[in-house]
Amino acid sequence: MYTMTRRVIAFAATAPHDRCMDTDTTPNTTPDITNIATVELIDTYLAAYGEPDPARRRELIEAAFTSDAVLADPPFIATGLDELHATFAAVQDQFPGHRFRRRSDVDQHHDAARYRWSLDGPDGTSAITGHDVVMFADGKIRRVTGFFGDQEAT
């Protein structure tokens, strides 16, 4: 306990750009992923969610996700490209004509990113809002963990 407390205090005293308590020395599996590529992958993922054409939706999913990708939202977990495709189709059935839209910049570091989104109807009103945390591997999305609603400040 004492060692951990000293470590946390030392961490807090460092400059923000020097803060890294991660002792994992494994090389980053996505050294080629840039912020621009990250945004493009996320926007492709969101476009796939709203794509009504199954063949085009499949293309977008395959372009954005690793073959073993996981999407974890409050009501479900989808694993792999086939389950992602089926999940996206089910959401479209439940919310016809709706599209996901990124509502914030993408905040990224290492192999993770986060952003806010909304599911907007044809009239522009938001049916659902939330935020996602995305993990990347091999230049694609490996995992999306979604949260519904806006997080209130404490």
Instruction: Place 151 in a pLDDT band, splitting at 50, 70 and 90.
Output: confident
Instruction: Give the distance from CA 53 to its chain's centroid.
Output: 23
Of the pLDDT bands very low, low, confident and very high (cuts 50, 70, 90), residue 25 is very low
What was the pLDDT predicted at 35? 80
Q: What's the pTM value of the predicted model, to 2 decimals?
A: 0.76
Higher per-residue confidence, 146 vs 16: 146
CB contact set of 33 (below 8 Å; sequence gap of 6+): 111, 136, 139
Q: What distance in Å separates the CA atoms of residue 62 and residue 65, rounded to the nearest whole number?
A: 6
User: What average pLDDT score do residues 6-14 get?
Assistant: 50
User: Is CATH 3.40.50.300 the right assignment for the domain spanning 31-148?
Assistant: no
The model's pLDDT over 62-105, given as tens digits with 9 standing for 90+, comes to 999 999 999 999 999 999 999 999 999 999 999 999 999 999 99
How do the domains of the chain map onto residue ranges?
31-148
| DSSP letter (8 states) at residue 95 | S
Q: What pLDDT sits at residue 33?
A: 55
